[in-house]
Structure 1
């Protein structure tokens, strides 16, 4: 098995990386940053997001595992004090050659620009189209049918695991990742005699999709965010969101149950 180790820049994460590298070498596990079978993220949820996007074109054969060097992260099964237990689990897996994993759905984002060009993105957490100065207006289609004319600060489209992030802060529901769905949540919508929206989060199943047609004269200052990356929105004429064909796979040594992750992250012990 080949492994890549992705770390944040702070010193504790770098020290943990050295320990993992030494353990991998002693166990005959190859360190390969180009085409790994496993990606070990050492740091926080932001580090794991970076690792995901670095290898998003290899999701069909990569498993991820997170080791948190600070407070317990949402995507993290191990904390640094449990590093010896993680290395033992890794060694036992190598011995038994039983590579177990659990997979979560992702968000596919397809963008059309004024010049006819297209962009394709994959999100682990969410994508958001929003205007930070003033409001934006966009037609919201569910599949090929107009659903509503939205006016407000923006819209957030999240995955089930991403439902605990920006979506939750906007009042959206927390969704279990066994549901193959995406969630549409409004950001400060205006409702009057001209603009009427549902004003409630919506779950879209895997066989449907959301299409946005923004009013191009209001796109100045609009940004499209896909996880931690942002893109200018001035040239966007259409965006389609749907459950991606790809899935993210996490190594399952003692994988933390989703609702335990939610409790640990937001409620505590």
Structure 2
């Protein structure tokens, strides 16, 4: 593992933001934290800019298992992944400098396309139609056929991802201490010909979910991986499992996941 005092800041280049971050950089140096230019040399990776920036930081740096992640929001942003704000960065730097850290672990799902290309997601994977036509998928749980879905698409979310896209489709908000993933429907068709469960369902950490794309014109669906969209040609099947990986994040004391959910939604 890189030196515990090495810290890397992930953010989109913005002169105004860099000016606001300068006091944070100075404070880090004053507390003997070394700011590094390459994330591979860091033991702590700090994203700046809310949940979207946090998700991109984790993906861009390769879902590293040998470092801690933390997120910093600006004054006009809220974040379920981000414990810190530019207004309280002194508390963050002090915790990092003196190792007064509490660590939480977020589950990650693994997504395999056609049994070849593999992706990790900390939030969710979504599969949607790219044309003005419903998409059809055979849904298998542990290789056993469960249903044939027809509609706009499906969302498979981690517990932390359950507060995002999945929640907007009436999915449940799930405690991240439960190792599982949730499947939610997007505008499913239910009539005498097509029938789906019609509600979200949750799968245990040892389950395998397979989505076989029925080749009826929707051969190029859009796959959303966290906050990035991919268009992959000739998708035949997608297999989703809960990964052995976890994302370790720095947390404030007395600021649980449910404290953040309450602050964000209630």
TM over 0.5: yes
SS of residue in 2 equivalent to 1:247: strand
Structure 1 residue 10, shift from structure 2 partner? 4.2
Q: 1:57 to 1:88 in 2, by over 3 A?
A: closer
Structure 1 residue 28, shift from structure 2 partner? 2.4
Written as runs of structure 1 = structure 2, the 5 A alignment for 1:157-176 is: 157-176=156-175
Preserved CA contact (<8 Å) 1:109 1:239: yes
SS of residue in 1 equivalent to 2:216: helix
Preserved CA contact (<8 Å) 1:219 1:234: no
User: Which of structure 1's runs of 4+ aligned residues deviate more than 3 A?
Assistant: 8-13
Aligned to 1:125: 123
| TM-score after normalising by structure 1 | 0.90
Preserved CA contact (<8 Å) 1:159 1:183: yes
Q: Structure 1 residue 50 and structure 2 residue 56: aligned?
A: yes
Structure 1 residue 219, shift from structure 2 partner? 1.8
Aligned to 2:21: 17
Q: 1:242 to 1:234 in 2, by over 3 A?
A: same
Q: How many residues align?
A: 258
Aligned to 2:110: 108
Aligned to 1:148: 147
> After alignment, is 83-92 or 158-167 more displaced?
83-92
Q: Distance in 2 between matches of 1:57 and 1:44?
A: 18
Q: Distance in 1 between matches of 2:84 and 2:228?
A: 26
Q: Distance in 1 between matches of 2:91 and 2:226?
A: 31
Q: Structure 1 residue 78 and structure 2 residue 84: aligned?
A: yes
Structure 2 runs not aligned, ≥5 long: none
Preserved CA contact (<8 Å) 1:5 1:17: no
Q: Distance in 1 between matches of 2:79 and 2:16?
A: 16
SS of residue in 2 equivalent to 1:8: coil
Structure 1 residue 89, shift from structure 2 partner? 2.4
SS of residue in 2 equivalent to 1:192: coil
Written as runs of structure 1 = structure 2, the 5 A alignment for 1:213-228 is: 213-220=212-219, 222-228=221-227
Q: Structure 1 residue 239 and structure 2 residue 243: aligned?
A: no
Aligned to 2:208: 209
Preserved CA contact (<8 Å) 1:13 1:43: no
